Amino acid sequence: MIRYASVRFAVQDMNDKITFAKFIDILSISRKSPTYIFLPELLDAFTDGKLNRGELSLPNLCDEANPNTLKAKANGKREISKEEATVLLENFDYDSLETYFNDLISNVHLVEIRNAIVRYGFKLNSSLDDSLIPEVCAKLMKKIIYDLSIGRKETLPPLEYLDFKSLSSTAIKAAEFKNGALYINGEKMPVSKKLAQMNIEVDGNLIFVKKLFEAYSEALGRKVSDQKDLIGTIYERHVSEHTKFYFEARYKENAARELFDEGENEFESIKKEIEEGIFDALYYGKYENGIERITNVMNTIATNLQLNSSLLLNIRGFINVSTRKGILHILVEEGRIKSWVNPNE
């Protein structure tokens, strides 16, 4: 789908406070039905359909069989709990929610919704095109759910860090990636739960694992085609550690794509810089076997290669040594490194 330009917010009136119920009221400008009617579909869009499919442990969040419960949630008499908001946030899908708002908000109501948001203290840039109001709503809703997840029942401006989708944002200069989440000015912006659940088991069907087995075979002088063939050897731990490196790098690659508008291209810039930086060590170094080549190339990117091609490098902890090593295995998986034994094949 089309990515819109990032949106900046500024303080206009600190006395106004927006709540989840007031946010739904704003959306009702473009929806003729009562707010409690479209509450389930709104939260379902927030999670890309997981709520409706019963994949979340939230059986009582939107009990459509009980209109009174829905009404209480929609009008604010019954708050979304911290626990419910946390589960929602862990399963947040930006594209799904933005698509929902694009479909929900008709063109004739864009200005009215814009003005309603401004009345709660968020001054939108005068240059901001009204067509970006669905993006504003998606980012504002995420912030509201985030505040509920930490016990805040009201959301206050400023919301500058809603601009964190852009890596060129000034907010990114204060960003740090740790424990699987992005922190901006101390506030946690979780990566979706589905990324955190990536499998890290050694999988002999993956190309990079096959190429490691090839290098182990050469070094041991016998065929290695499965992890069990390494039991009792010095490479038993090696394959496990390098599998972790690979999946950490994949996690970061997917996180960059999910968190930032330009994340995919910026991560590719790092991959390309590493690919170019190891060229001499990979293809022209003198090695006894493929394991020596792996070790030397890994040391090159871990200690000697200075990376400066991507804005992702401005985020502390995002591209660490393990991620660099894992990117090498991504290059193998993508066929950009053909082999550790015979890289020129």
Q: Is 34 helix (H, G, I), strand (E, B) or coil?
A: coil
Could you tell me which residues are beta bridge partners of residue 111?
A: none
User: Which of 147, 188, 194, 165 has the alpha carbon at shortest distance from 49?
Assistant: 194
Residues of the chain falling short of pLDDT 50? 1-14, 160-162
Helix runs in 94-235, H state only: 94-104, 110-119, 133-149, 193-196, 207-220
- Per-residue model confidence (pLDDT) at position 7: 38
> Tokens 């852009």, residue?
166
Confirm whether pTM is higher than 0.85: no
Distance (Å, rounded) from C-alpha 210 to C-alpha 60? 47
pLDDT digits (tens, 9 = 90+) for 149-162: 999 998 877 554 34
The two structure tokens encoding residue 334 = 């993508």
Length of the chain: 345
- Per-residue model confidence (pLDDT) at position 169: 61
- Per-residue model confidence (pLDDT) at position 278: 95
- Per-residue model confidence (pLDDT) at position 164: 58
User: Which of 126, 102, 109, 95 has the alpha carbon at shortest distance from 258?
Assistant: 95
Could you tell me which residues are beta bridge partners of residue 122?
A: 11
Residues 6+ apart with CB under 8 A from 295: none
pLDDT digits (tens, 9 = 90+) for 57-94: 787 777 665 778 788 888 888 888 999 998 998 888 88
Sequence ranges of the domains in the chain = 9-165, 199-333
Distance (Å, rounded) from C-alpha 242 to C-alpha 323? 10
Continuous segment of H or E residues that includes residue 326: helix 321-333
- Per-residue model confidence (pLDDT) at position 223: 97
The two structure tokens encoding residue 81 = 């709990």
- Per-residue model confidence (pLDDT) at position 13: 42
User: Which of 103, 118, 81, 275 has the alpha carbon at shortest distance from 72?
Assistant: 81
